[in-house]
């Protein structure tokens, strides 16, 4: 059996980092972890080929080679996914599909022959058994959550590692919180399910043995969902495992209550964590109550962010406008919060209601769902709900936020604010050959041929960081490149 695993292309979005990756000659941020894991669950004797369309195009010869096509996708990949399904159908090959997009919208893709719903560890083995018996069904549902201790390590050899900026691994699934707009718990539940420490370390070891030395993204939706196990078991083991190894700095997602636990912060930094994404959402306390973001309430969010930065963690933040409790003042409040916090990588989106969430159910009950699909693109200025605020005012205010925080001056001011607070325990930019080339590319593309505002702010940050904090100069250049990407994405959505 010849299996072609296809990962559809992402549009040019905030998180794609497509424009930034060109500076280091990478094609994509990270590879498709789900497909690499599903491949590891397939019979060993099967021939497997993976095409990540974010790295290279899907060719007719790929389709001709395959006996069966496997497709996995997230909502934001919808457009490319439909194109892939149509090509596979035209080639006359059976299609097996899974992942969040298909799980949330199982009836939207009639081209698919076999749907693998929810978590593959539960629903994929019955498909394999039926396929071996010659009678595979059209749909396989999972009525229970997967035991992550049984999840196999990904097949790293299926991807071209040098095409990616980071590799992805997973330690846990689920989240103990209940934010009403988030589909994580709708898909994966509230109870934290963890891999064993030995299992996870072995997975990292296999990646290290495969030659990887750059950053590793631990894709957990809330890495600190079980603090006790982290502090007593996993993090001490990670600290010991990393001794004498090069690279392997970690990126992950956490909740803001990390700032309440000095011991956990210290252990994470010692274990090699350098970036954490946090859903800040809003400085509006009433909106936090509305969306049940209990972990963010009754705290000084800026101080919490700065505490993490001072401890050596770069904070990436997610923000939302368009809550029912937002008024015309939220736009300036959001700009001021983001700028004063020094959150360089700040993603701001309009409130959307993914299928299966409590917010979706409430909007459906109130008759406030729009007919268009949830896009999954956090910064495209679209929403599938009818807001309480006047829609024109909301769009205008949203555009004001983006134009302010992504402008060359606003972005550079924010980088400077961050660098003044940030106290890394070691260098977080590994100066490999591509990073050196990226410096010279940034000088040319931003400092020489960029717009007048881009040029002036590039050199302002260049010489400020070089003279005042030279140890952080490589990071300042990295952020200049991030800003270049964010401005290009913002220009794509100029009609918002």
Asked if the structure places residue 240 within a domain, the reply is yes
Asked if the structure places residue 414 within a domain, the reply is no
Do 23 and 127 fall into the same domain? yes
Asked if the structure places residue 125 within a domain, the reply is yes
Do 83 and 205 fall into the same domain? no
Angle at 179 between CA 174 and CA 184, to 5 degrees: 30
* Token digits of residue 165: 């900026």
Do 134 and 170 fall into the same domain? no
Asked if the structure places residue 420 within a domain, the reply is no
Asked if the structure places residue 148 within a domain, the reply is no
Residue 82 CA to residue 66 CA, distance in Å, equals 19
Indicate which CATH number applies to the domain containing 372.
3.20.20.70
The pLDDT value given to residue 196? 98
* Token digits of residue 225: 């969902």
Contacts of 48 (CB under 8 A, 6+ apart): 3, 5, 39, 42, 155, 158
Cβ atoms of 491 and 408 closer than 8 Å: no
What is the band of 425 on the pLDDT scale with cuts at 50, 70, 90?
Answer: confident
Do 477 and 357 fall into the same domain? no
Angle at 212 between CA 206 and CA 213, to 5 degrees: 125
Do 348 and 475 fall into the same domain? no
- Please give the mean pLDDT across all residues of the chain: 96
Q: Is the pLDDT of residue 250 over 80?
A: yes
Q: Is the pLDDT of residue 69 over 90?
A: yes
Residue 479 structural domain: 433-492
The pLDDT value given to residue 325? 98
Contacts of 429 (CB under 8 A, 6+ apart): 435, 474, 475, 478
Q: What percent of the chain has pLDDT over 90?
A: 93
The pLDDT value given to residue 495? 67
Sign of the alpha-carbon torsion through 284, 286, 291, 296? positive
Q: Is the pLDDT of residue 139 over 80?
A: yes
Cβ atoms of 314 and 275 closer than 8 Å: yes
Do 130 and 222 fall into the same domain? no
257-316: pLDDT as tens digits: 999 999 999 999 999 999 999 999 999 999 999 999 999 999 999 999 999 999 999 999
What integer is the mean pLDDT of 152-162? 97
Q: Which of 405, 425, 453 is the last residue of a domain?
A: 405
Q: Is the pLDDT of residue 432 over 80?
A: no
Residue 208 CA to residue 211 CA, distance in Å, equals 5
Do 401 and 440 fall into the same domain? no
Q: Which of 106, 140, 174 is the last residue of a domain?
A: 140
* Token digits of residue 194: 């963890």
Report the DSSP pairing between strands 68-72 and 47-52: unpaired
* SS3 sequence of the chain: CEEEEEECCCCCCHHHCHHHHHHHCCCECCCCHHHHHHHHHCCCCCEEEEEECCCCCCCHHHHHHCCEEEEECCHHHHHHHHHHHHHHHHCCCCEEEECHHHHHCCCCCCCCCEEECCCHHHHHHHHHHHHHCCCCCCEECCCCCCCHHHCCCCCHHHCCHHHECEEEECCEECCCCCCCCCCHHHHHCCCCEECCHHHHHHHHHHHHHCCCCCEEEECCCCCCCCHHHHHHHHHHHHHHHHCCCCCCCEEEEECHHHHHCHHHHHHHHHCCEEEEEEEEECCCHHHHHHCCCHHHCCCCHHHHHHHHHHCCCEEEEEEEECCCCCCCCHHHHHHHHHHHHCCCCEEEEECCCCCCCHHHHHHHHCCCECCCCCCCCCCCCCCCECCCCCHHHHHHHHHHHHHHHCCHHHHHHHHHHHHHHCCCCCCCCCCCHHHHHHHHHHHHHCCCCCCHHHHHHHHHHHHHHHHHCHHHHHHHHHHHHHHHHHHHHHHHCCCC
Phi-psi region of 177 (alpha: psi -120 to 50; beta: other; left: phi over 0): beta
Report the DSSP pairing between strands 172-173 and 193-194: antiparallel
Do 84 and 231 fall into the same domain? no
The pLDDT value given to residue 429? 63
The pLDDT value given to residue 374? 73
Residue 37 CA to residue 389 CA, distance in Å, equals 44
Cβ atoms of 121 and 145 closer than 8 Å: no
The pLDDT value given to residue 283? 98
Q: Of 93, 96, 47, whose CA–CA distance to 70 is shortest? A: 96
The pLDDT value given to residue 225? 98
Q: Is the pLDDT of residue 434 over 90?
A: no
Residue 451 CA to residue 408 CA, distance in Å, equals 9
| Count of domains for the chain | 3
Do 337 and 302 fall into the same domain? yes
Residue 464 CA to residue 419 CA, distance in Å, equals 11
Phi-psi region of 157 (alpha: psi -120 to 50; beta: other; left: phi over 0): alpha
Indicate which CATH number applies to the domain containing 95.
3.40.50.280
The pLDDT value given to residue 422? 98
Asked if the structure places residue 38 within a domain, the reply is yes
Cβ atoms of 153 and 177 closer than 8 Å: no
Angle at 231 between CA 180 and CA 193, to 5 degrees: 45
Q: Is the pLDDT of residue 427 over 80?
A: no
Q: Is the pLDDT of residue 247 over 80?
A: yes
Residue 29 CA to residue 138 CA, distance in Å, equals 33
What is the band of 430 on the pLDDT scale with cuts at 50, 70, 90?
Answer: low
Asked if the structure places residue 481 within a domain, the reply is yes
Residue 416 CA to residue 460 CA, distance in Å, equals 10
Residue 486 CA to residue 347 CA, distance in Å, equals 9
Residue 256 CA to residue 277 CA, distance in Å, equals 9
Q: Is the pTM of this model over 0.75?
A: yes
Residue 75 CA to residue 69 CA, distance in Å, equals 19
Do 129 and 17 fall into the same domain? yes
Do 42 and 8 fall into the same domain? yes
The pLDDT value given to residue 428? 65
Do 216 and 279 fall into the same domain? yes
358-412: pLDDT as tens digits: 999 999 999 999 987 778 887 888 999 999 999 999 999 999 999 999 999 999 9
What is the band of 168 on the pLDDT scale with cuts at 50, 70, 90?
Answer: very high
Asked if the structure places residue 419 within a domain, the reply is no
What integer is the mean pLDDT of 122-126? 98
Q: Of 290, 353, 356, 350, whose CA–CA distance to 318 is shortest? A: 350
């Amino acid at each position: 059996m010849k299996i072609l695993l296809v990962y559809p292309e992402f549009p040019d979005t905030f998180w794609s980092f497509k424009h930034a990756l060109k500076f280091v000659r990478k094609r994509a941020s990270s590879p498709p972890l789900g497909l690499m894991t599903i491949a590891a669950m397939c019979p060993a004797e099967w021939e497997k080929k993976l095409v990540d369309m974010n790295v290279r195009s899907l060719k007719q010869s790929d389709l001709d080679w395959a006996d069966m096509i496997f497709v996995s996708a997230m909502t934001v990949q919808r457009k490319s996914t439909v194109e892939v399904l149509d090509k596979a159908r035209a080639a006359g090959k059976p299609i097996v599909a899974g992942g969040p997009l298909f799980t949330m919208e199982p009836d939207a893709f009639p081209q698919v022959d076999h749907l693998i719903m929810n978590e593959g560890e539960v629903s994929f083995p019955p498909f394999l058994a039926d396929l071996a018996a010659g009678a595979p069904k059209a749909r396989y549902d999972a009525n229970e959550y997967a035991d992550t201790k049984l999840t196999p390590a990904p097949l790293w050899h299926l991807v071209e590692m040098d095409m990616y900026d980071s590799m992805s691994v997973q330690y846990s699934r689920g989240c103990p919180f209940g934010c009403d707009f988030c589909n994580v718990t709708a898909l994966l539940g509230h109870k934290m399910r963890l891999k064993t420490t030995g299992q996870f370390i072995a997975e990292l070891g296999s990646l290290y043995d495969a030659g990887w030395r750059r950053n590793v993204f631990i894709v957990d939706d809330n890495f600190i969902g079980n603090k006790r196990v982290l502090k007593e078991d996993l993090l001490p083991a990670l600290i010991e495992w990393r001794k004498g190894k090069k690279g392997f700095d970690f990126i992950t997602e956490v909740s803001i209550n990390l700032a309440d636990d000095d011991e956990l912060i210290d252990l994470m930094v010692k274990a090699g964590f350098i970036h954490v994404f946090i859903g800040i959402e809003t400085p509006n306390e009433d909106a936090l109550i509305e969306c049940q973001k209990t972990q963010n309430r009754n705290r000084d969010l800026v101080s919490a962010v700065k505490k993490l930065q001072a401890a050596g963690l770069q904070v990436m933040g997610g923000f939302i406008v368009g809550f029912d409790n937002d008024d015309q003042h939220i736009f300036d409040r959001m700009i001021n919060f983001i700028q004063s916090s020094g959150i360089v990588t700040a993603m701001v989106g309009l409130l959307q209601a993914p299928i299966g969430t409590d917010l979706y159910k409430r909007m459906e009950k109130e008759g406030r769902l729009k007919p268009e699909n949830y896009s999954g693109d956090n910064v495209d200025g679209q929403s599938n709900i009818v807001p309480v605020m006047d829609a024109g005012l909301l769009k205008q205010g949203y555009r004001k936020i983006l134009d302010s925080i992504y402008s060359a001056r606003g972005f550079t001011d924010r980088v400077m604010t961050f660098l003044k607070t940030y106290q890394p325990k070691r260098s977080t930019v590994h100066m490999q050959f591509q990073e050196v080339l990226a410096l010279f590319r940034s000088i040319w593309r931003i400092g020489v041929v960029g717009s007048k505002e881009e040029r002036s702010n590039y050199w302002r940050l260049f010489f400020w960081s070089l003279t005042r904090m030279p140890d952080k100069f490589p990071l300042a250049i990295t952020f200049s490149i991030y800003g270049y990407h964010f401005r290009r994405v913002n220009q794509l959505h100029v009609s918002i």
